[in-house]
Copies of this chain bind each other. A is one copy, B any other.
C-alpha cells in the first residue's frame, strides 16, 4: 500500500485495519476492536457522552486537516466526560468519509487522536470504530468515563457563596473562528495566530482537572462549549442561583472580552467550588485554573459586577 491509497480502492476493511493499528489501546479494554463489541473492565458508575461533527455545520475541510479533526473530536468528548467529574476510560469513533479520502489522511486522523489521548488522558484508548463512505464527512464519537465511586457533578449543585473556577482557556477558540471567517488563508493564520488556530481547530483541554475538581468538592461543573455566558445560564437555571463574573478576571484571558463571554468551543471546565476549597483547588490545579467570580443568591441569571449579561452564545443553527 502507498500513501496515495484511497478508501475507494483499498476498501473499508483494509483501511480500518490500518487505522486501528495506529490507535492507542485502552488500559480498560478486556476485548479490543475486532469482535462484535469491545469489552471494558468493570468499574464504578459509567459516564457516557456522544458528539458528532458534520462537515459544513461543524468544520470545514478547507480549514481543518484530518489531524486537526482527530484532535478535536477526542477533546470535545473527553471534556464532556470530565465535566461530570469522571475519569475517561474509552472512546468509540465512527467515521464517514468521502470515497476519495486517502488512507494517509485517515492515518493522520488516527495519529492525532492517539496523541490527543496521550496528552489529555493517558491510558484511554479507542475500543471500537466504524468506517463508511459518506457524501458528508462525519465524525461520531462516544466517550465513557469511570466515576470511581464519586457522585457525578451535575449542573444543578451550585450554592450561593461558592467560588466560580474556570480551568482552561476562554475566548481563544472564538477568536480563531472569527479570524478564519474574515477570510485570511488558514495556513497564514496558523503562522500569525497559532494559539487561536489551535484552540479552534485542534483544541487541547485540561481533562484531568474534571476528576480533580470533583475530588476537591466541586458543587457543579460543565464544559464551556457554547460560550461562558450561555453555559453560565445553564448552571444558573439548573442550580437556581445567579453567577456573577469578575470583570478583572475575565480581562486576564488572552482574548477580547466579547470572545471570552460569547465565543464558542472553549472546552474549558466551568466549576463552582465551596469558598473554603478555593486555595486547595488553585494549588493543585496550578495556572490552568482561575477564580472568575462567585455564586450569589437570586433569580437565575449571569452578571458581571452585578450587571446582567445578555443571554446569547454559540448556536450553529442560527449562523
Contact = CB atoms under 8 A, between A and B. Distances in A.
Contact of A35 (B56, B84, B94): B84
What is the copy number of this chain in the assembly? 2
Contact of A136 (B45, B51, B90, B136): B136
B47 A37 contact: yes
Contacts of A134: 54, 56-57, 136, 138
Contacts of A94: 50-52, 140
A291 interface: no
Interface residues of A, number: 64
Interface of A: 7, 11-12, 30-31, 35-52, 54, 56-58, 79-81, 83-84, 86, 90, 92-94, 96, 127-130, 132-136, 138, 140, 142-145, 147, 152, 154-155, 221-223, 315-318
21 contacts: A31-B84, A35-B152, A36-B49, A36-B222, A37-B47, A37-B48, A37-B81, A38-B48, A39-B48, A39-B152, A40-B45, A40-B46, A42-B44, A50-B94, A50-B128, A54-B96, A92-B142, A96-B136, A133-B317, A135-B135, A144-B144
